[in-house]
Amino acid sequence: MTEPYDGGPLAALRRIAFLLERGREDTYKVKAFRGAAAAVLPVPEDELREAAGAGTLTELPGVGASSAKVIADALAGRLPERLAKAEREHGGPLTAGGHELRARLRGDLHSHSDWSDGGSPIEEMAFTAMELGHEYQVLTDHSPRLKVARGLSAERLARQLDVVDAVNEHLVDGGSGFTLLKGIEVDINEDGTLDQSDELLGRLDVRVASVHSKLRSDAATMTKRMLTAIRNPRTNVLGHCTGRLVTGGRGKRPPSEFDARAVFEACAEHDVAVEINSRPERRDPPTKLLELARDLGCLFSIDTDAHAPGQLDFLVYGAERAEQAGIDPERIVNTWPKERLLAWAAK
């Protein structure tokens, strides 16, 4: 017997895409459903029903046979089989532990949109964060140096800040209680400076500083580079500190070499949070370094580094690791209310 469904075609398509991203399925599968969702968004329901009845849904740009079946089923009040399959395969818990700490996380300080190398618009990332119960989400697209990731020039970043203002104005009018915060994942240059103007960095709410180049530098060079960035008053979070990759489509990459004790002591001294990067292919920092940072008194930020809406649900991976390491939740900055977080980041 077919299960009833009252979510509508747009909700069904978005949920399928979210679950596929959450389950780390191939990007081409996700794009099919995200494209179909974008196609049906502006179409009135009566026109969709007419097209479904005439069997012409696939004439809509971006709607293929599989997504047309989802749309037709949803319009008829039937649970689409593709949605049911995605729920069975990817709707369950991602981890065995970390759920209590995950429930205490109020937001995520590291995420990307299609303005740089993310796959979805800013609005979709914000709406998904709201649906996950976040109180805030920091948008941290890349800085100019990272051209392969379409890093934002000063001009593009300034335009993005206006877009974030517009999104927040819409959310306030809707009474959501959610805030999209202005941020950046700023490259740490080879000399340790930050890859964006100080004036623009000063207009942001949160700044994640990360090394993306010359990851195989010798330990002394990398340590000096990281210490210079950590001592910069604009730096709030040290992103994926070793740069390692442990699995995934990009292959494996060993961790960078640096004096971890010196780096984490500087983080503790300068009130810079060490990121616990929740991406399964990163698991950064490695456990021994995570425990060292804990013992040296560092603050932490559990972040998804999400490049797609479904990846915003990866927070529990980092929460499980923090829980296993015995890190006090009060030392995790994204357990803090927005006002406390912003006061800390504005140092």
Q: Please report, for the domain that includes residue 81, its CATH number.
A: 1.10.150
> Which tokens is 163 given?
């877009």
Q: Are residues 142 and 240 in the same domain?
A: yes
Q: Which domain covers residue 47, as residue numbers?
A: 8-90
Q: Look over the chain and give the mean of its residue pLDDT values, rounded to a whole number.
A: 96
Tell me what pLDDT residue 303 has: 98
In whole angstroms, what is the distance from residue 180 CA to residue 111 CA? 11
Q: Are residues 68 and 187 in the same domain?
A: no
Q: Are residues 113 and 239 in the same domain?
A: yes
The three-class DSSP label of residue 1 is: coil
Last residue of a domain, one of 90, 116, 136: 90
Which value, in Å, is the radius of gyration of the alpha carbons in the chain? 21
Q: Are residues 162 and 238 in the same domain?
A: yes
Contact 244, 282 (CB under 8 A): yes
Tell me what pLDDT residue 175 has: 79
Asked whether residue 159 carries a pLDDT value surpassing 80, the answer given is: yes
Largest CA distance in the chain: 68
Instruction: Provide the percentage of residues in the chain whose pLDDT is more than 90.
Output: 94
Q: Are residues 174 and 246 in the same domain?
A: yes
In whole angstroms, what is the distance from residue 5 CA to residue 217 CA? 55
- Domain-located, residue 311: yes
Tell me what pLDDT residue 106 has: 98
Which of the four pLDDT bands, split at 50, 70 and 90, describes residue 80? very high
Contact 107, 300 (CB under 8 A): no
pLDDT single digits (tens) 220-247:
999 999 999 999 999 999 999 999 999 8
CATH number, domain of 216, equals 3.20.20.140
Which of the four pLDDT bands, split at 50, 70 and 90, describes residue 1? low
- Domain-located, residue 1: no
Nearest to 205 by CA among 239, 236, 232, 168: 236
- Domain-located, residue 56: yes
Mean pLDDT of 44-59: 96
Q: Where are the alpha helices (DSSP H) in the chain?
A: 8-22, 27-40, 45-54, 65-75, 81-90, 99-104, 122-131, 154-173, 198-202, 219-230, 260-270, 287-295, 315-324, 338-345
In whole angstroms, what is the distance from residue 102 CA to residue 316 CA? 6
Q: Are residues 180 and 293 in the same domain?
A: yes
Asked whether residue 250 carries a pLDDT value surpassing 90, the answer given is: no
Q: Are residues 257 and 180 in the same domain?
A: yes
Q: How many CB atoms lie within 10 A of CB 339?
A: 8
Of the CA atoms within 13 Å of residue 138, those in its CB half-sphere come to: 28
- Domain-located, residue 2: no
Q: Are residues 248 and 220 in the same domain?
A: yes
Cα 335 to its chain centre, rounded Å, is: 16
Lowest mean pLDDT among 24-33, 93-102, 172-181, 325-334: 172-181
Tell me what pLDDT residue 209 has: 98
- Domain-located, residue 81: yes
Which of the four pLDDT bands, split at 50, 70 and 90, describes residue 347? confident
In whole angstroms, what is the distance from residue 245 CA to residue 238 CA? 17
pLDDT single digits (tens) 183-233:
999 999 999 999 999 999 999 999 999 999 999 999 999 999 999 999 999
Mean pLDDT of 30-59: 96
Contact 238, 209 (CB under 8 A): yes
- Domain-located, residue 53: yes
Q: Are residues 72 and 105 in the same domain?
A: no
pLDDT single digits (tens) 113-151:
999 999 999 999 999 999 999 999 999 999 999 998 899
Last residue of a domain, one of 53, 70, 90: 90
> Which tokens is 27 given?
């990007």
Q: Are residues 290 and 260 in the same domain?
A: yes
Which of the four pLDDT bands, split at 50, 70 and 90, describes residue 2? confident
In whole angstroms, what is the distance from residue 158 CA to residue 168 CA? 16
Last residue of a domain, one of 90, 116, 140: 90
- Domain-located, residue 249: yes
The partner residues of 181 in beta bridges, in order of sequence, read 138
Q: Are residues 18 and 105 in the same domain?
A: no
Tell me what pLDDT residue 248 has: 78
Q: Are residues 47 and 192 in the same domain?
A: no
Mean pLDDT of 89-118: 97
Mean pLDDT of 305-323: 98
Lookup result for tokens 């984490």: 264
Domain count, the chain: 2
Tell me what pLDDT residue 111 has: 98
Tell me what pLDDT residue 282 has: 97
Contact 57, 23 (CB under 8 A): no
Q: How many CB atoms lie within 10 A of CB 218?
A: 9
Lookup result for tokens 């392969």: 148
- Domain-located, residue 216: yes
Asked whether residue 252 carries a pLDDT value surpassing 70, the answer given is: yes
In whole angstroms, what is the distance from residue 146 CA to residue 166 CA? 26
Tell me what pLDDT residue 249 has: 78
